[in-house]
Copies of this chain bind each other. A is one copy, B any other.
Amino acid sequence: MNRKNIQRVSMQSIADAVGVARSTVSFVLNGKEKEGRISEEVSLKVRTAAKKMNYQINEVARGLRTGYSNTIALVIADVSDVFFGTMAYHIQEYAESKGYALIIINTGEKQERLSSAFKTIINRQVDGVLMISVVNMEEGKIEQLNPGIPMVYVDRYFKTLTTSRVIINNYEVSKAATQQLVDKGCRNIALISFRETLMHILDRKRGFMDALSANNMLDETLICEADYRNYKEDVVDFLNKSMSRIDGLFIVTGGLSSIAIRYMVNMGIKLQSDVQVIGFGRIDVATGISIPYVRQPLEEICKKSFDILLNRIKSQDDEIVDCVIPASIVTDEL
């Protein structure tokens, strides 16, 4: 049974109204008058009729015919997280401006949900995927999870996987941030990070360690690598144990920063005097003190990712683009 309650105007109805073939309507409305060798006059008539009848193309029909749905998918752990949500926002805005709809798929960081995501993506003829992959992925499995359509990895990436990607200069900015703690006079600097196989986390850790090694200050007992399934407890445990020895703290993600700073505020620790902190991403915590952080240019990352993806979709070449966008260390006004 077809959906009868919605009567839409099709190219055929315009063709009937104007008195031409529907192929003519299609050529005109797609701006291919040249290709169809349609006269100025007919062209104008079609346009006018289409506007008057308020024609809206049926993307589903076009999609079936052309193989392109003008839809892209964003695969993400959890849109309700500010970091991911902000990416989703920028991507949707930009995609819309380019005529694309955005399907969002949450994975909850679960590997098995990636394959169901790809099923959806294939079923719906999604044209391309912006992928923020899943935590602690087994290296071998990633390659298999290739839907065979254009895909760009955003923010997170894998060493062994050669796909286009857009990331920030994780190593360099982390090294600089750590050095900044040293420059402020910290001598016992801790790292709060994840136990992870994702490269961006490893790069941040490497930046931290190289900076401290260069200053002969590395103390491996001051490195906390939380388990992502249990990171709140892990961070709190670490701080309970080590806080008294720490005068500087580098934290590699926004989620971890929230936890650590909440803890310190609750414990009455004086931020930026008892202990200097630098986090990743704006600290969304009203401490009454401004805390420097690594600012990731999310809008730029999203637009760049989309551009690369779109180019890949349209040109069908298989060139792999590896784009690094520099992040900077900033301190917001209160």
The residues of A with any CB-CB pair to B shorter than 8 Å are 2-3, 5-6, 8, 56-61, 63-64, 66-69, 71, 78-82, 84-86, 88-89, 92-93, 96, 101-106, 116, 119-120, 122-125, 148-149, 258, 261-262, 265-266, 268, 284-288, 316, 334
Contacts and interface: CB of A to CB of B under 8 A. Distances in A.
Contacts of A334: 266
Given A85-B80, A92-B104, A285-B286, A64 B61 contact: yes
A88 B79 contact: yes
A103 B106 contact: no
Nearest to A121: B101
Given A82-B80, A89-B80, A123 B64 contact: no
8 contacts: A60-B69, A81-B85, A85-B88, A88-B88, A258-B286, A266-B288, A284-B284, A285-B285
A268 B285 contact: no
A102 B103 contact: yes
Contacts of A66: 2-3
A69 B103 CA distance: 13
Given A71-B124, A266-B286, 20 more contacts: A2-B66, A2-B67, A6-B148, A6-B149, A56-B119, A58-B64, A58-B125, A59-B123, A80-B88, A88-B88, A92-B104, A92-B106, A96-B106, A96-B116, A102-B104, A104-B104, A258-B286, A261-B286, A262-B286, A284-B284
